[in-house]
Amino acid sequence: MALLDIVTFPDPFLRLKAKPVKKIEKDMQVLIIDMFETMRNEPGVGLAAPQIGQSIRLVVVEYAEEPEDENAPTPEPKRYVLVNPEIVKRSEETVEGMEGCLSVPGLIGNVERNESVTVKALNRFGKPQKIKANGWMARIFQHEIDHLDGILYIDRATDIYESISEENSEYIE
């Protein structure tokens, strides 16, 4: 497949509200595969279509929750394709955490997000899905859906820092 170019800040394309996907066709399946490949190559845990220059409401996420027992093996990552995603429920509880972004290289920031969310979307085949996410996964979904509305994490960050090492890569979307 193909690695795609990442659109980076301050490109005004990142501030546009993405258009809903009307029909899921074969070319979208190729785009989804390319988005996963690009995200893994960077490395990231999520990628929204506007980040690769496509003004459509499409997000891919791949993330493995850390095991509670530090000696246990890391589980296989879960993969999500969200077409026309919408957050339909948010917890009242919020939590602050560090975030980074493939479209804002070299920076990380402290962002307050809802601890849990419920997301309604279509899957890659156009079937409705509802996902309840907590913790880091909820943060990833909120971050990626913000991209579809032209919002960057730096708009929500209370503090922004220069990323000074590869260790910060876990914060990069």
Read off the amino acid at residue 80: Y
Beta bridge partners of 114: 94
Residues 6 or more apart from 127 whose CB is under 8 A from it?
A: none
170 is catalytic: no
Active-site hit among 25, 42, 92, 144 = 144
Three-class SS string for 40-73?
HHCCCCEEEHHHHCCCECEEEEEECCCCCCCCCC
Active site residues: 144
